[in-house]
Every structure is written in C-alpha cells, then in structure tokens.
Amino acid sequence: SAVISQKPSRDICQRGTSLTIQCQVDSQVTMMFWYRQQPGQSLTLIATANQGSEATYESGFVIDKFPISRPNLTFSTLTVSNMSPEDSSIYLCSFSGGNTEAFFGQGTRLTVV
C-alpha cells in the first residue's frame, strides 16, 4: 500500500502567525483529505483537497483560515493562518485507497502560544 509522509510532526507557534503542513504520498492518489483533532475530540474533516481545482471545505471551515494546495496527485499542503490558541490541535492528512480504506499521515501536533 502507498506510504504517506506528513511534516512537521509537531510545532509550537506564536499567535498571529501561520504554519504550513505538508503531506507527501509515494503514489498518485485522486483524493486527499485534511482532518483536525482537537484535544479530547474526534477527527473532524476540514476539507477535501482536489488536484487542479480549489479544495472543498466542510461546514465551519473556510479557505481564508485553512488554505490548501494540491499541485499534483502526490502532494498537498494545509496552512493554518493567523493562528490563535484555539487552533491548537492535531492535524492529519489522509487519502482514500481504491477500496475505500483511508490511510493517514502521522499527524502534526500544533501548539499555539
């Protein structure tokens, strides 16, 4: 199965700054997804990253706050913009395999101070 690498694994950032998280898959995949897992909460889908078009955002998430790039079928980035302490979470990238199994990156643990 394809391998998915995510970086950074963790970061501590100042409020008001932005962080870009990268996700690399070792084979071409059609759909990639970005999730957020706030402390003590479940995974919540932020958006679906589409190659060659704008990402599709879920209710409660907007492009200005979480801009996403998907320049090709193996790579995507998620930026957390103008961060506040409420953005402290684990962020996960994922892709769907041909049989609907989801594969996940190792996650980025973000702390905003």
Partner 1 sequence: AQRVTQPEKLLSVFKGAPVELKCNYSYSGSPELFWYVQYSRQRLQLLLRHISRESIKGFTADLNKGETSFHLKKPFAQEEDSAMYYCALLYGGATNKLIFGTGTLLAVQP
Binding window for partner 1 (CB under 8 A); candidates: 13-21, 36-44, 63-71, 75-83: 36-44
**Residue number, 48 or 81, with CB nearest to partner 1:** 48
Residues in a beta bridge with 81: none
Candidate list 73, 96, 110, 111; residue touching partner 1; CB under 8 A: 96
Any contact of residue 42 with partner 1 (CB under 8 A)?
A: yes
Between residue 54 and residue 93, which ones bind partner 1 under the rule CB under 8 A? 56, 92
Q: Which two tokens stand for residue 103?
A: 């594969």
Residue 32 CB: number of other CB atoms within 10 A? Answer: 26
Nearest 5°: CA angle at 80, between 96 and 64?
A: 95
Query: What 3-state class would DSSP assign to 46?
Result: strand
Candidate list 13, 22, 31, 67; residue touching partner 1; CB under 8 A: 31
Residues in a beta bridge with 78: 21, 68
Candidate list 65, 75, 104, 109; residue touching partner 1; CB under 8 A: 104
The CA-to-CA distance between both ends of the chain, in Å, stands at 38
| Binding region for partner 1 (CB under 8 A) | 31, 33, 41-45, 48, 56, 92, 96, 100-107
